[in-house]
Structure formats: structure tokens, C-alpha cells
Structure 1
Amino acid sequence: MDSLQHDYYFYRIIYHYVENKGYRILDQKRNEVWLEDDEAKPRRILRVVRVDIDWANWLRRDVESAVKQFELVRRQLRLSQIVGENIYVSLYPPVDSWEEIQKPYDDAKNKKTTVYPSLVVRHGQIEERHSRPLLLPVVQDKESVEELELAIAQLKQAILKITKQKEKQERSLFLYGKPILTYVFLLMIAAMFLVLENNGGSTSILTLIEYGAKYNPLIIEGEWWRFVSAMFLHIGFLHLIMNSLALFYLGSAVERMYGTGRFLFIYFIAGIFGSVASFAFNEQVAAGASGAIFGCFGALLYFGTIHKKLFFRTMGKSVLMILALNLLFGLVVPMVDNGAHIGGLVGGFFAAAVVQLPSQKKSYKQFTTFLVTILTIAILVWYGINNDQKTPSALLSLQIGQEYLQQEEVEKAYPFLQRAVEDGADMPEATFLLAYAEATFANYETAKELLLETIDRREDFHEAHYNLALVYLELDQPEEALASVERAIMLQQDEELYLDLKERISAN
């Protein structure tokens, strides 16, 4: 009967902490339950054990073993520090001396885990507590075995019900909607990639511009729709695959948490925010869903501000680590458009704050945040129009000019090549291609100077030596032409064009 009374009290303790104190069950065995108070700082972990203790040696060994278990729990939960309560519910105290066991125990390695052992002994209405004071429930003993057995069964059922309700509530926060729109976006992105590949290639700057990539000069001329269209274009297969995978996982998670309608708003606001930020700070042609994807990160961070404990208990630290790695990657790799990434992140957070989570009540803060979002976009657009210190566009001008030359549209290529040289493109290819255009327009003296500058930058540029030989011939300077073509042959011995030109010059 007394043992059954202690069983009953054991389950009353569990019920008390779960129902009244809001503790969460971490693990549950027949006579041992682990509980967590995720609101306490540092985090508080309870281990409640129903055991009848005979000797202090057993208690000492179990306490020392439990300290290691508490430390393992701390690592599994990725906590910097925890305070543990090791509560033993026993019919009697040990028959020998056990006072030295009442001290708090620390993990020997890093001192991040402190455990307080407590022994709870019940004699009728008498409750003895040792070591650290505990807030335990006061209950009336039952009068019969049948009454105790029924009470214990009811407590078990109540604890199970509370636990399942909490799990259901938490799970519902992650499963509000279905990722329908995420799959639609993935199909649209794949379709546009095929369109690009069949009409000049997804790595062609001119093709990207033609189909709606972010290109500042045309945006300034009024093609504002590029802020949206750029979200569905990708530059190369690797770019497509990486963004599609990120969208599949992040987009699915956000759409499930927020629902399809809210996700639509978050995705487009974040994507537009990213495009506008790229417009404000970067003159390169840009495309991709990166801004919208980073907006999904922003939406997850907003979730974390509303459900902090659940966020860090589930996905929080992983989300923050992946986000930090992506931002660091953007800082290290020059070609990454950090403006679009950071802009999308901020835009996604703002958009999530506007629509809020399905479980949140409507608030005036939504309207305020919406105004801030629109105002920020407007400021970025204004800054983009007036910012003359954007990331230098010499490389972009060179790329566009080169593509026009490949299409034999020299007149269209010329202003871009000229701009690349004027903007200080630190590449011999810039002066080389401009020299080709000048020679096409019969500006041979200018072409000669540009080719000499090219060779001065890179002595082994054999194509430049060959073109210089052609220019010298047009200027009626055969000796200089012969010297230039011989230098080209020295650098590229098996090139038939060079050999034919030398033979032709020598014949004359």
C-alpha cells in the first residue's frame, strides 16, 4: 500500500510539472521521466525517478551516472548551460549515511551542467525534502488499493493527453498549408530555363536581357517589370539546380507554415525586394530566385521571433547556420549578388510580418510594416537611379560587346566596348576587342594604339600580335607587319592563319 502511494505521488509530480508548470516531456520510461522547462534561463531539466533506495552507495553511483546523462542531454539540445534536478521518489531514505550526496554535482569537464539531487520521502502527510528546495504538489493519500490504481491510471492518461495536445499544437504550426505554389514556381523556373536554352542560351547576357533579367539601363528607361521577371530566370544549369533545391526545401517549409496565400505574398515581396536592392547597388545583369529564397529565410526568422523556444528547439540553429554560411559565401565570392540576397532576406522578414502567421491575431503593426516595406522599396529604387557608385560595370559592358561581335553586329558592340575601356576594364581583352571594332570602321591608327596597349598588358596574347600585323598592312607598314606575325607564330606555332599571313607578307 505504501509503495503504491509513492507510485501515485510519482505520477502526481509528473502531472504537476506538465500541467501546472508547462514542462515538456523529453523522455519517459516505466519509472523514470525526463522533463524540460524551456522558459528557464539557464534551461532547467528534471529527472524524476521512482525507486526504493536501500543503500547510499547505489544512490551515489546513480547520481554520478545521471550527471553524465544530463550533460548528454545538454549537448543534444545544443544548450550552453543547464541546471538539472535529479528527484528520487523513495519509500524510505537509505539505511546508511547519505548526507554527502546532497551537494550539487557539476560535469567534471566543462562545468556547463549542474545537477541537484533531491530525495522525496512520503510518510502519510509528511514530506521530507533534501538539498535544493523543490516546488512539489501536496496531495492527499488514497485510502484503498483500488482507489490508488484508478488514480494512477487517470494520471497516466492525463499526462499522455496533455503531451499529445502540446505535440499536436506544435505540429500544426508547421503543417498549416500544402506546398502547392512551391511546385508551381519550380515548374515555371524550369520552363523559363528551357526557353532561354532554346533561344541563345541561359549564359548569354543578351538572351538574359531579352527575356527579362535585371538590367539597370532598361529599368531606368521604364521596364520596371524586370524586378519580377528576373526572379524566374537562371544563369546556367548549376545556378538553376542550386536555387531549385533551395526553393524546394525552404519554399515548402514556409508555404506549409504560412499557407499558400501568405507564401505568395512573401515570395513576390522578397523577390522584388532582392531585385530592387540589386538595382540599387549592382550594375551587373542579374537573374535568379535567390532574393525570394532568402526571403524564405526571412520568413523563418520571423517565425523564430514569434515562437522563439520552438524555433530553437527544432530548426532554429540549423537555419541560422545555413543562412550565415550563405551570407559568408556571398562575401567571399565576388560574382555573388549580395544586394539581392540581403535585400530578399529583409523583404521576406517584412512580408512575413505583414501577413503574419495563421495563428496570430490581426494587428495594426501589419499595416505599419506594410508601409515601411513600400517606403523601403521606394527608397532603394530612388537610390538605384541616383547611385553612381554601384559595382563597376566594365565587365558587363565587355561581355555585351563581345556577344554583339560574335553576332557580327559591330555597330551595336562598339559603344559597349568603348565604355568598358573608359570604365577601366583591367583586362587586355577589352582593348583587343575595341581595336577589332576600330579596325572594322577603318580607324587603323586607333586600332594600332589599342593593340599595342593590349600587348603591353599581356605579351603572350598571340591573337593581338596577329591583328596588329593586319593593321600594319592596312597602314602600309610591311616590315612591322612581318615582325608582328612572326611574334604571333612564335607564340602559336601551328596556327595556319599566322603562317599564311607571313607567307603572303614575305611574297610581297
Structure 2
Amino acid sequence: MERQQDYVFWKAVHHYIFEKGCRVIEQSRNEVWLEEEDTHPKRIIRFVRVDIDFSIWLRRDITESVKQFERIRRHFRFRRLIGENIYISEYPPVDEWEDIKKPFFESKRKRTTVTSKIIDRANQSALSLPSVPLQGQIQDLDLNLTIEHLKQQINHVTREREQKEKSLFFYGKPLTTLGLLAVLSYMFYQLEQAGGSTSVLTLIEYGAKYNPLIMEGEWWRLITAMFLHIGFLHLFMNSLALFYLGGAVERMYGTTRFLFIYFVAGLFGSIASFAFNEQVAAGASGAIFGCFGALLYFGTVYKKLFFRTMGKSLLTILAINLVFGFSIPMVDNGAHIGGLVGGFLAAMVVQLPKHRKVPKQLLSLVVTIFLMGGLYLFGLNNEQKTRSPLLELQIGQEYLQQDNLEAAYPFLQRAVEEGADMPEAYFLLAYAEAMFENYEFAKELLIKTIEERPSFHEAHYNLSLVYIELEQIEEARSSLKRAIELHPDEAYLDLYERVKEEN
């Protein structure tokens, strides 16, 4: 009679897979774990074919199974999990076992709840299975053949589903992703050779996003900025993200679709940066966030598969990146969000392989073009984002470091005029004015610098030099004396000795 219960076991598993749409999580000779995909909270069913003698084994097995159900809940990050043990046995335990029918909980928070029941020869109808042979019919059935047929059907549909799901993640090969990584590395090398990847002037020269020049017609910077990076850490982090995210998107969408997503997202991110951020910007971050967007679109098409595989981890990483972007002023979150939206829309335009929805694709293309055009026009008319006093100051300082006073002067002047209310701005402009022999104006600027920061010893020293040029020797001595008190530099002491001897 044991074969009858074997038949009940495999018939039950077959019924739950083919009639209720359950998915096989794990399968062995006498144990099958199934997931009901459309239930909230999530429901997992464990079928066990075992002949139970004593309830002590049953209690021990239930206790262990509760831990396994909890591990499944944590692995798939289900908020709650309802688990059920269904034991197919010839007879119930010979001793008392009714207490096992009560629910078991993994913790006080009761996020994992497990119930158990025994299906023996006397209560097979509890499973509500069609065509379960009665005891009087058992001799008329070739159960061995029937059981093998059920197993084959179960194995076939399980393999078929696994292969179909696997094919969604491995449509293409990430060769273009590797090519993009090589291009990014090569451009970083060029920047370092030309003057440094952290030099604003070098970045602008090589095509970084710089709003004033874009306003003058250099729109191509919105594209070239995608291939430049500011510092090795910036390159390393983006390359790492591109390797994993870009590789995943290229495998899922194929090379042609991936390139479209990458460039549309990168361009969308650059335009968003142009519209909302006045700083010089560069990097593949917008395109990389576009890969996030493409994966999110995959999640809207295959929602169950998405959350069973990468979904919750992807959303967590995305949320961390966005929070980080809003928390750190230097991060261009406009480019990140723009790239995310652009990548999602681009994925809607190209669709997944073997998905063809022309009306939806055309509508998505129109929306994408409309949003990109609207952002670009907003950027052209957003005068507040045209220039940044701090950026003007940084560019002016770099020109001074190159001894290009003529080029530095207008940037330093605009930095002060446009509100860079900081001692460094006044100090550098004062230096430029002194070099142009505008000593009175230089004096005023240095005095303002010292008012803003009394401990700025370089400003005291430069002010003494200006006083000497203006032949105000007593004031020069006083400024030098203060500079020496703050910082007894040898140059300050030498000049003080020379000035002290003058009348």
C-alpha cells in the first residue's frame, strides 16, 4: 500500500504545479518545496513523503522546517511568510500528535508562520485531488508507471521554466560594456596627461559639461561629458558600477538595445545636469543610472521574477545612491535622476528582446524626445544656472597657477561681483589688481579679506606689499608685524627687517 501514498504525494505536487501555478523551489526524492506566486503574504508549501512512527520525529522535523522557512523569507526578503508542511504518510504517529496542528512561529514578531498537517490513507480527501485511487481500485492501476509519468511532467515543466527564466538574463554578451570601460580608462589617461582629471580647465578643454559654453552653442558637451571622470575614485566607482549594471543590461537587452539605453540615459542625465546644476560636470553616472532604469523596466514586465531575483537588492542599492546624492552637495543628483528616468524611457522604446509593442514604443519615443527637449529649453532659460561664483573663482585660480593673469582676471572679477562672499575671492582678485598696478583697489580688497578672516596671514603680507607700493611704510610695518605674529615665515621676517630700516 505504500505505493498508493507515493502516488498521492506526486499527484498532490503535480496538482499544485499544473492547476494552482506553483513554482518548484527545491526538489528531492521525498521532499518538494513549492511557492504560490500570487499570494500576499507569500505562501510556501513543503510536501514530504514519509511514514511516521512516532510524534517526536515529527515535532523535531517541524521545528527544523520553521528555521528553513525563515531562511527562505530572509533570502527573498519577504515581509511575511506563511509556510505549510504537508506530510504524506501511510498512518499517523502511534502516539499523541494533535498538538502539531497549531501554528509555529519563528520569532515574537511572527513574520514566519508555519502550519502542518498529515495526509494518511484515511484522510486523502483533505487534499481535494482529482482521480486519487481508492483502496479498492489500487490493484487495477499501474502505479509505478503513473508515478513516473507524473515525475516526468513535473521535471519537464520545472526545467522548461528555469530555461525560459535563464534566457531572459542571458540574451546577449557584455562585450560592448567592456569596450566602454576601455574608452573611459583611455579618456582618463588623456586627462591625466593633459593637466590632471581634477583640473577644471583640463576638463573644460576636453569636453566636460560647462553651462556658459553650452549656452554659446557647444551642445556636444552633453555627450562628451559622459566619457570623462574627475579623479581616480570617480572613475573606479563608475567603472565598477558599469561593469555589473551595464553588463547585466547588455546581457538582458542585447548590444544594440543596450547602446541605445546607455546613450539616451547619459544624454538625459547631462541635459538634467545642464538644467539644474551650474558646476562643471563629467562622468558616466547618468548612463549608469540609466542601467538602473532599464532594470526597473524589466521589473515592470516580469514583476514576479524581478522580485524573486534582483528586485529588492536593486531597489535598496538605488535608494542608497539617491539618498547619498541628496546628502552630498558635490554629487550631481540631477544627472543621476535624469539618467534613471532616461534609462527607463529608453528601455520602453526598445523593449526587451522578442517583445514588440509598436504603439507603446512610439509613444515612449515621443515622450522621451519631448522631455529631453523641454529640459534643454529650461536649461537655456534658467539664468541662475548659467554661472557659479565658486566655479568662476576656481577657474580664475587655475589660470593664476598657470601664470595667465589676463585669462584669470575676468573670472576673478565675476566671482566677486556675482557674490562669492569669501576671503579667497577677495584675496585672489586683490593679487590680480596688484599685478595690474591697481594698488588702491587691491588695498581695499585685502582689507576686506582680513575683515572676513583676521587670521589670513598671506593677506596681511600682501597688504604690506601694497602699502610699500603706495609708500605707506608705517602701515606696511604694521601689516608685516601682524603677518609674522600669525605665521613667522622667513620671507616675512626678511621683508620686515628691510622695511624697519626705512623712514
Give 1:96 deviation, angstroms.
5.0
CA distance in 1: counterparts of 2:277 and 2:12, whole angstroms: 62
- What code does the residue aligned with 1:313 have? R
Q: Which residue is 1:34 aligned to?
A: 33
Q: Which residue is 1:74 aligned to?
A: 73
Deviates more, 1:215-224 or 1:317-326: 317-326
CA distance in 2: counterparts of 1:28 and 1:254, whole angstroms: 31
The number of equivalent residue pairs is 500
Q: Which residue is 2:498 aligned to?
A: 504
The reply on whether 1:127 has 2:124 as its aligned counterpart is yes
The 8 Å contact of residues 211 and 387 in structure 2, kept in 1 or not, is answered as no
Q: Which residue is 2:270 aligned to?
A: 275
Give 1:65 deviation, angstroms.
4.1
The 8 Å contact of residues 35 and 43 in structure 2, kept in 1 or not, is answered as yes
Change in Cα spacing, 1:363 to 1:106, as seen in structure 2 (3 Å) is farther
Q: Which residue is 1:116 aligned to?
A: 115
The 8 Å contact of residues 211 and 385 in structure 2, kept in 1 or not, is answered as no
The 8 Å contact of residues 121 and 128 in structure 1, kept in 2 or not, is answered as no
CA distance in 2: counterparts of 1:50 and 1:280, whole angstroms: 65
Of the three residues 430, 454, 460, the one matched with 2:455 is 460
SS in 2 for 1:116: strand
Of the three residues 165, 173, 176, the one matched with 1:170 is 165
Post-superposition Cα deviations, 1:285-307, rounded to whole Å, max 9, x if no partner, equal 00000100111111111111111
Mapping of 1:105-504 within 5 angstroms?
105-122=104-121, 127-129=124-126, 134-140=127-133, 147-390=142-385, 393-496=388-491, 498-504=492-498
Give 1:57 deviation, angstroms.
5.0
- What code does the residue aligned with 1:5 have? Q
Give 1:490 deviation, angstroms.
2.3
SS in 2 for 1:122: coil
The 8 Å contact of residues 212 and 386 in structure 2, kept in 1 or not, is answered as no
Q: Which residue is 2:9 aligned to?
A: 10
Post-superposition Cα deviations, 1:446-496, rounded to whole Å, max 9, x if no partner, equal 100100111111112111111111111111111111211222222221332
Give 1:229 deviation, angstroms.
0.1
SS in 2 for 1:34: strand
CA distance in 1: counterparts of 2:235 and 2:67, whole angstroms: 47
- Structure 1: runs of 5+ lacking an equivalent: none
Q: CA RMSD in A?
A: 2.0
The 8 Å contact of residues 435 and 447 in structure 1, kept in 2 or not, is answered as yes
- What code does the residue aligned with 1:50 have? R
Give 1:384 deviation, angstroms.
0.8
CA distance in 2: counterparts of 1:38 and 1:50, whole angstroms: 23
- Structure 2: runs of 5+ lacking an equivalent: none
CA distance in 2: counterparts of 1:358 and 1:387, whole angstroms: 40
Post-superposition Cα deviations, 1:108-133, rounded to whole Å, max 9, x if no partner, equal 5222223332322336xx7342xxxx
Give 1:58 deviation, angstroms.
4.3
SS in 1 for 2:329: coil
The 8 Å contact of residues 23 and 37 in structure 1, kept in 2 or not, is answered as yes
The 8 Å contact of residues 468 and 481 in structure 1, kept in 2 or not, is answered as yes
SS in 1 for 2:124: strand
SS in 2 for 1:309: helix
- What code does the residue aligned with 1:139 have? V
The reply on whether 1:47 has 2:61 as its aligned counterpart is no
- What code does the residue aligned with 1:21 have? K
CA distance in 2: counterparts of 1:66 and 1:322, whole angstroms: 31
CA distance in 1: counterparts of 2:427 and 2:221, whole angstroms: 32
Deviates more, 1:70-79 or 1:440-449: 70-79
SS in 1 for 2:87: strand
CA distance in 2: counterparts of 1:76 and 1:215, whole angstroms: 45
- What code does the residue aligned with 1:89 have? I
CA distance in 2: counterparts of 1:363 and 1:177, whole angstroms: 22
Give 1:214 deviation, angstroms.
0.1
The 8 Å contact of residues 122 and 128 in structure 1, kept in 2 or not, is answered as no
CA distance in 2: counterparts of 1:495 and 1:413, whole angstroms: 29
The 8 Å contact of residues 290 and 343 in structure 2, kept in 1 or not, is answered as yes
Give 1:146 deviation, angstroms.
9.2
CA distance in 1: counterparts of 2:219 and 2:450, whole angstroms: 42
Deviates more, 1:413-422 or 1:334-343: 413-422
Deviates more, 1:479-488 or 1:335-344: 479-488
Change in Cα spacing, 1:108 to 1:181, as seen in structure 2 (3 Å) is closer
Change in Cα spacing, 1:418 to 1:153, as seen in structure 2 (3 Å) is same
CA distance in 1: counterparts of 2:24 and 2:274, whole angstroms: 50
CA distance in 1: counterparts of 2:383 and 2:128, whole angstroms: 66
CA distance in 2: counterparts of 1:12 and 1:83, whole angstroms: 22
- What code does the residue aligned with 2:366 have? L
CA distance in 2: counterparts of 1:458 and 1:140, whole angstroms: 94
Post-superposition Cα deviations, 1:329-365, rounded to whole Å, max 9, x if no partner, equal 1111111111111111111111111111114232311
- What code does the residue aligned with 2:17 have? V
Post-superposition Cα deviations, 1:1-27, rounded to whole Å, max 9, x if no partner, equal x10121122112112222332212222
Post-superposition Cα deviations, 1:40-60, rounded to whole Å, max 9, x if no partner, equal 111111111112233455444
Deviates more, 1:97-106 or 1:394-403: 97-106
User: Structure 1 length as normaliser, TM-score?
Assistant: 0.93
CA distance in 1: counterparts of 2:459 and 2:273, whole angstroms: 36
Give 1:242 deviation, angstroms.
1.0
The 8 Å contact of residues 13 and 137 in structure 1, kept in 2 or not, is answered as no
